[in-house]
A and B are shown apart, each in its own frame.
Chain A
């Protein structure tokens, strides 16, 4: 893995170009351009706050008694998960979209899924910034542990990359995967306490939560942003999971990319 990183370092400049291009191309031709990077999460915060706090008046038992609490609570986990979702979806088409580069240039194939996944870090950062501001403005809270956020983002990135590399290859060989992927990600979202608090999960299902790394990761985001606490012990499991997944993902990708090349 160290060798791989060293090899990629030589392509840092190319990587930056590709990420910049990936981001700007997404909003190319739109009226607001890069402003959408801010507008999207901002509008979501507004809509969620309105629906859950003004109309449905959802309250989490035992939490801070503030009408806007649930909206921010939801967003703090939803935004990182959406970044993960975007990353996996982009990875699944990365080899197809860049077939010309893959087959006819000397670009290291590892860069191809890496580019759109790195882009999701930018969108995630902006979204988190808006959530932090919302927490401050709406709930009058600022956590002292915000400095841990970069670590959480890195772990989120590692998991996205690990799984992204595997999905990128499998989508080439198994055509059905790209069709099923959206559904699988939605299922994962509902199996993880994101739109509902973990307290509502019946005790017989809590065992699944204990091993679900996404629960521990997203809960860490909530701890750090909302509760002003350090991530719980489950976070060590997430760290281990992220390292193993990334190592396996890269190894799998490197082993099979030569085979995948011929079929994109």
Chain B
């Protein structure tokens, strides 16, 4: 039996010019609002003992979804089935009354979650202890710092022994010590066969904690599946948005450039790139070249060179860029002191091979330069071509995998 089943959940918000319009609409049965879909056709399920992640940009509908899961918001469409007691931390302070003291909020929180007086009294010492609030427990929570707030909220919602725990963003507010403590507690929950629905901007956490994840984009499910895959794709999307806007002169998504018609040899000192193609590649489901970290990477680059040019004055430079514009590695035949190989006629070329591609998960593309021996003159260049994906087996973070070892000190 699934702990949580969401069937085509949808939430429409009505936007009114003035509050009273909403009332008028109810009385007069005439439309006074503009509709705004915060969530549309969201379906998923979460099994007992599973940690389920929710990622997405701001305004993608994450909070709306979690509020629906927590029961504070009713979906306008679809159905939500939850088996067991749900306990939730939504945003900051979820359901705390700012004027009440910490202790009063604990009592109220426990009562709301269905605990009776004896059960509540039994839990209080544990909650105060876990929250580490000490004497502050007798102060109104409006005087709390955000860290104290979240400590108390987390202590309450996890102490009532929920079957499903919904955690929004909140945890990032606590200090390192508390984050560790809360993470341990969440893991303990998971081990007890309870379900966790988890939303965080810390993609690392989502990737580490969750088996499966859902990526929401403007209220709809952009992707759903194994969390590492979802996060990789989401990361690409984030980088894409953050990219330093590089002048994209010619984006060539296919691996081959159309050969430039070679003009008559008029004695000018010119050269053109004619082909750049990835060799021996696999493709992902989207038809995009896909490499696993550590695999061989090979690129063939061909150029047409006017006879009047000396071949040792034509060189190729290749830069691997991630889709946020970060240059991961760039090198040229000038730097390595190599010359191009003669193919046929005026065509010259080279195969650029990386025996073990150590890049980590991401979307990358190539920048190819045709330059002279001084590296100063550019005959031709392509700013972005041969886009490819890399997928890593592990959950290491960063751009590239370094050979390393852990030694006894």
Contact = CB atoms under 8 A, between A and B. Distances in A.
Contact of A13 (B93, B99, B116): B116
Contact of A10 (B72, B99, B104, B114): B114
B95 A101 contact: yes
B165 to A, nearest CB: 14
A255 B27 CA distance: 11
A107 B72 CA distance: 8
B90 interface: yes
B104 A106 contact: no
B97 interface: yes
A17 interface: yes
B108 A106 contact: no
A106 B72 contact: yes
Interface string B104-116: 1001110110101
Contacts of A21: 100, 104, 108
Nearest to B141: A100
B107 A17 contact: yes
A204 interface: no
A255 B13 CA distance: 17
Contacts of B90: 104
Interface string A147-178: 00000000000000000000000101111000
A121 interface: no
Interface in B38-97: 70-72, 74, 90-91, 93-97
A263 B23 CA distance: 11
A103 interface: yes
A258 interface: yes
B72 A25 contact: no
B125 interface: no
Contacts, number: 68
Interface string A200-231: 00000000000000000000000000000000
A179 interface: no
Given A18-B108, A258-B74, A104 B94 contact: yes
Nearest to B95: A105
Nearest to A106: B71
Contact of A105 (B20, B94, B114): B94
B312 interface: no
A175 B129 CA distance: 44
B98 interface: yes
B229 to A, nearest CB: 33
A98 B98 CA distance: 9
Interface string A91-104: 00000011011011
B329 interface: no
A171 B90 CA distance: 27
B26 interface: yes
Interface of B: 13-14, 19-20, 22-23, 26, 70-72, 74, 90-91, 93-100, 104, 107-109, 111-112, 114, 116-117
14 contacts: A13-B117, A17-B107, A17-B108, A21-B104, A97-B99, A100-B96, A100-B98, A103-B72, A104-B94, A107-B112, A173-B19, A173-B20, A259-B23, A262-B22
